[in-house]
Structure 1
Amino acid sequence: MRINTKQTSPKITTLAIKTMNNKSASKIAKSLSGSALSQTNTSKQTSAKMETIASKVLNSEKYSKETKSLAGTVLSQANKKRK
């Protein structure tokens, strides 16, 4: 497995923490937040399942700008060789 050199930015880390603490945040937003937080200051990569979820969020009109920011971050930290 390759080491992921991309890490979650402080701005997205803050957004992810706020999302996790928001009782009205969607399950998908919280899942994306958890994935982003797990990649803060580590070499962990996005799982295939989270890649799929993040891709669907980015291609949907129903998610907020914040959720799409989380999805973009998660997807940018994915394994590029995975198909």
Structure 2
Amino acid sequence: MLSHVNFPIIQKKYLAQIYCVAPEYAQSVYDLTQFKHKQSFEFSEVEELSKEAPTFHKNPKSRPEEGNRLVGFAPEKPFYQL
């Protein structure tokens, strides 16, 4: 299904999110996808984007502080960055 996406940035962000879960799976998806656009990209770009993947499309006010991790526990304070 990734081959039907027209924009490389969407493909990169999707692969970056997969890379956070399982790097070998993201590499396999990248290798097996036949990209239809002419703007090719390297897998190293996906690896760089994966560092920011947990914060894609998240409002900075709603993010936990630097000391907290996004692992499913309740925040240390009853509010975030308000």
Higher helix share: 1
For the criterion TM > 0.5, the same-fold answer is no
- Mark the structure with the bigger radius of gyration: 2
- Indicate the structure whose relative CO is greater, using CA pairs within 8 Å and at least 6 residues apart: 1
- TM-score calculated relative to the size of structure 1: 0.26
